[in-house]
Structure 1
Amino acid sequence: MENRTVIHVEHLSKKFKEESALKDINFSVHAGEILGFLGPSGSGKTTTIKILTGQLAQTSGKAMVLEKPVEQINEEIYEQVGIVTDNSGLYERMTVYDNLKLFAKILDVKKETIDYLLKSVGLFEHKNKITSKLSKGMAQRLVLARAILHQPKVLFLDEPTSGLDPSTAESIHELLFKLKESGTAIFLTTHNMDEATKLCDHVALLNDGLIVEYGTPKALSLKFNNNKRYQVLLKDDRELTLLHSDETREKINQWMSNDELVTIHSCEPTLEKIFLEVTGRELL
């Protein structure tokens, strides 16, 4: 797969009067990569998306999408971009199917794609329902289907599975993996740290407009695994959490020799715990 840089941000900052929403942030996203932008409300996530999609001008720094400065984003670039945010508009008087049919015509997408996407996001049985009658979760799924109808080269997702049931969220995760495999770059914000760990190649932890940590979920977990522990399950149903030590190693060796050990897991910190350690704040 081509390792093309799809999003590139250098020394980006944004001020609203005297308040800094973003302070000198730097990152890149490549084709076929999912970047998780993680932080609490007010940390600068939505501001970043608005700048990268040409809805808001930065105060300083450089931001490029598909090799084009965000100040010069035009219709040609928008046709290669998908956006899912809270304010993504739908035609509420039209049916679910007709909403997608309209955008399929605009984007020159085959109509056969519509039914496939509706099944993937769990809306096929509601295809003839008027959009204004959809629940919030259903409308959210329709916005996602519309955003990926044309297999965009870059996809911006702001909390895409918030409020969805686990089965539908899993279907959406599968869709995102397929898009990734086809080369789409995905910029994802989420409060769900399990989701970020599962989906993201890299994550940026954002706090007060600054990226305070950046890396793969696994690398960050290992970096902050300062208090090494192991969780074991024995055949007598005992579950134990043991500190990393010579004594623990001897116990584990003995259990293995006696065929008493059922499972063993290392206990690296979650992204949520890492964020709390780095910032003193919870990801709420």
Structure 2
Amino acid sequence: MEAIITVKDLKRTFGNEKALDGIEFGVGRGEVFGLLGPSGSGKTTTIRILTGEFEPTEGTVEVLGYTHKDFSRSSYIKQLGILSDNSALYERLTVKDNLELFRKLYGTNKQSVRQVLEAVGLESHQDKRVSVLSKGMKQRILLCKAILHEPEVLFLDEPTSALDPITTDRIHDMLLRIKEQGTTVMLTTHDMDEATTLCDKVAFLDNGKILEQGHPETLRHSYKNNEIHITYNGGKTTSVTRSMENKPALERALFDSEVIDIRSDYPTLGEVFKKVTGKELV
């Protein structure tokens, strides 16, 4: 698969503090790649380097064939869509006027505003001032702004942070459609369910270092235990190692009327993160 983003031995320091300490990863065309980690782990710093806001201290980064020295070029910037905590809208303008402003800036067709608003379910709100909209609506408009010009690469920094579940699901659906159209997406999140739903590959980032990376399901399989968990009526739970020695006990559990649930150990992505880093994501 063609590499769209390549990061090798990337380091970034702020004074004596190491924000990134030699991270490496690659993202192929049309993939969704997630940087997962708690606040302060280096996720946002990575995005800001790749979008040209910060310079790397050491290492090499390449996006769409451009190195970090070329990230300020308009030919590079026009191929990116960015949603970050620095993204903003003009509060006094309407939804439509905000998007029209950016549409003209990027030179996209007139139908693009209507199309992106329909995609996020906000076409009926296009004539409302941004100032009267909820946080969830504003977040969806910011996403519209980021994809209005059909970018080659979409960078999303905590795209659904603090949003309600319905809005989050709508944004997830939209991102999966964007992926199907061939856009490469890189996102940061501390939401492991979001990463499991969206990402083709993830990297666990902690204290500026990548401790593990791979496909979410592959990582889950890699860290599972060879145990069967049995739950009984009343809430009691026992764990039995899967082995020939325990075969009779497992067979009895299958036909025990007091047993209400039997499942193999299959950790969530969040549980894998805890096993790898020794930390819980909050």
What are the equivalent positions in structure 2 for 1:250-261 lying under 5 Å apart? 250=248, 253=251
Alignment check: 8 A CA contact 1:31 1:185 kept? yes
Counterpart for residue 39 of structure 1: 37
Alignment check: 8 A CA contact 1:242 1:248 kept? no
Alignment check: 8 A CA contact 2:136 2:167 kept? no
Counterpart for residue 187 of structure 2: 188
- Partner Cα separation in structure 2 for residue 263 and residue 53 of structure 1: 48
Counterpart for residue 280 of structure 1: 278
- Partner Cα separation in structure 2 for residue 255 and residue 243 of structure 1: 10
- Partner Cα separation in structure 2 for residue 252 and residue 206 of structure 1: 39
The alignment partner of 2:59 has SS state of strand
Listed one character per residue, the Cα deviations across residues 61-85 of structure 1 (whole Å, up to 9, x for unaligned) are 1011111002212111111110000
**CA 1:91–1:262 in structure 2 vs 1: closer, same or farther (change >3 Å)?**
same
- Partner Cα separation in structure 1 for residue 115 and residue 227 of structure 2: 45
Deviates more, 1:142-151 or 1:266-275: 266-275
Alignment check: 8 A CA contact 1:122 1:168 kept? no
Q: CA deviation at 1:135?
A: 2.5
Alignment check: 8 A CA contact 2:12 2:20 kept? yes
Counterpart for residue 245 of structure 1: 242
Listed one character per residue, the Cα deviations across residues 188-221 of structure 1 (whole Å, up to 9, x for unaligned) are 1111101101111111000100001111111111
- Partner Cα separation in structure 2 for residue 153 and residue 34 of structure 1: 12
Alignment check: 8 A CA contact 2:42 2:205 kept? yes
Counterpart for residue 141 of structure 1: 140
Deviates more, 1:264-273 or 1:62-71: 264-273
What are the equivalent positions in structure 2 for 1:229-244 lying under 5 Å apart? 229-231=227-229, 242-244=239-241
The alignment partner of 2:35 has SS state of strand
Counterpart for residue 228 of structure 1: 226
**CA 1:260–1:81 in structure 2 vs 1: closer, same or farther (change >3 Å)?**
same
- Partner Cα separation in structure 1 for residue 124 and residue 236 of structure 2: 45
Counterpart for residue 216 of structure 2: 217
Counterpart for residue 196 of structure 2: 197
Counterpart for residue 266 of structure 1: 264
Counterpart for residue 103 of structure 1: 102
- Partner Cα separation in structure 2 for residue 77 and residue 278 of structure 1: 36
- Partner Cα separation in structure 2 for residue 262 and residue 165 of structure 1: 32
Alignment check: 8 A CA contact 1:93 1:131 kept? yes
Q: CA deviation at 1:123?
A: 2.3
Alignment check: 8 A CA contact 2:202 2:215 kept? yes
**CA 1:119–1:151 in structure 2 vs 1: closer, same or farther (change >3 Å)?**
same
2:28 maps to a residue whose letter is H
**CA 1:248–1:164 in structure 2 vs 1: closer, same or farther (change >3 Å)?**
farther
- Partner Cα separation in structure 2 for residue 119 and residue 267 of structure 1: 42
**CA 1:213–1:120 in structure 2 vs 1: closer, same or farther (change >3 Å)?**
same
**CA 1:121–1:233 in structure 2 vs 1: closer, same or farther (change >3 Å)?**
farther
1:143 maps to a residue whose letter is L
Counterpart for residue 125 of structure 1: 124
Counterpart for residue 51 of structure 2: 53
Q: CA deviation at 1:256?
A: 6.5
Q: Which runs of 5+ in 2 are unaligned?
A: none
The alignment partner of 2:101 has SS state of helix
Counterpart for residue 205 of structure 2: 206
2:161 maps to a residue whose letter is S
The alignment partner of 1:86 has SS state of coil
Alignment check: 8 A CA contact 2:135 2:163 kept? no
- Partner Cα separation in structure 2 for residue 106 and residue 168 of structure 1: 28
Q: 21, 24, 27: which one pairs with 2:25?
A: 27
Deviates more, 1:176-185 or 1:266-275: 266-275
Counterpart for residue 18 of structure 1: 16
- Partner Cα separation in structure 2 for residue 79 and residue 279 of structure 1: 37
State the identity as a percent: 46
Count of matched residue positions in the alignment of Structure 1 and Structure 2: 280
Q: CA deviation at 1:280?
A: 2.1
**CA 1:261–1:277 in structure 2 vs 1: closer, same or farther (change >3 Å)?**
closer
The alignment partner of 1:22 has SS state of strand
2:117 maps to a residue whose letter is L
RMSD of Structure 2 on Structure 1 (CA): 2.5
